[in-house]
Amino acid sequence: MSPEAFTDWMTRLRSQCPCIIFDSSREALVAGLKAAPWLVKPNRRELEIWAGRKLPEMKDVIDAAHALREQGIAHVVISLGAEGALWVNASGEWIAKPPAVDVVSTVGAGDSMVGGLIYGLLMRESSEHTLRLATAVAALAVSQSNVGITDRPQLAAMMARVDLQPFN
């Protein structure tokens, strides 16, 4: 599918399902962002590709996130690896920093974060709680070799260790 056809498909999908949560890479990311999904979750490198430039400072990342919001994207969540995640929406900007963990594998960390975002949103949690949850899920995911989070007390303990601050 060409990037143009993907953008068209995403636009038609959005007209029927306005709350699209979008996480992709490369050409599909750039094409999908043109359709203004409701929530996007690129990582910093993917955001740099979209922006067409390096984003060395957090202010640069936030400016790029706001540029996506100006395109009609309601929620922009940028995963920052070990630095955590940034969420920008109409209510503000938050940065969540996970505690240091022993990294076993980073495979699936972004998908785990998206899973945490979806769960928090479905449970109608606040943006702050949802970002804390998603960051904790991703931190747990990289610290183990198995797939999935089944130990709720372990997740609760990790959530308590996530440093969440408004960014300003």
The 3-state DSSP composition of the chain as helix, strand, coil percent (nearest 5) reads 50, 15, 35
Residue spans of beta strands (DSSP E) within the chain: 21-22, 39-40, 75-79, 85-89, 92-97, 163-166
Strand pairing report for 21-22 and 75-79: unpaired
Instruction: Report how far residue 112's alpha carbon sits from residue 98's, in angstroms, rounded to the nearest whole number.
Output: 14
Q: For residue 65, which of 54, 79, 76, 50 has the smallest C-alpha distance?
A: 76
Catalytic one of 8, 23, 111, 163: 111
Largest CA distance in the chain: 45
Which single residue is written with the structure tokens 């260790």?
Answer: 161
- Look up 111 and say whether it is catalytic: yes
Query: Which residues are catalytically annotated?
Result: 111
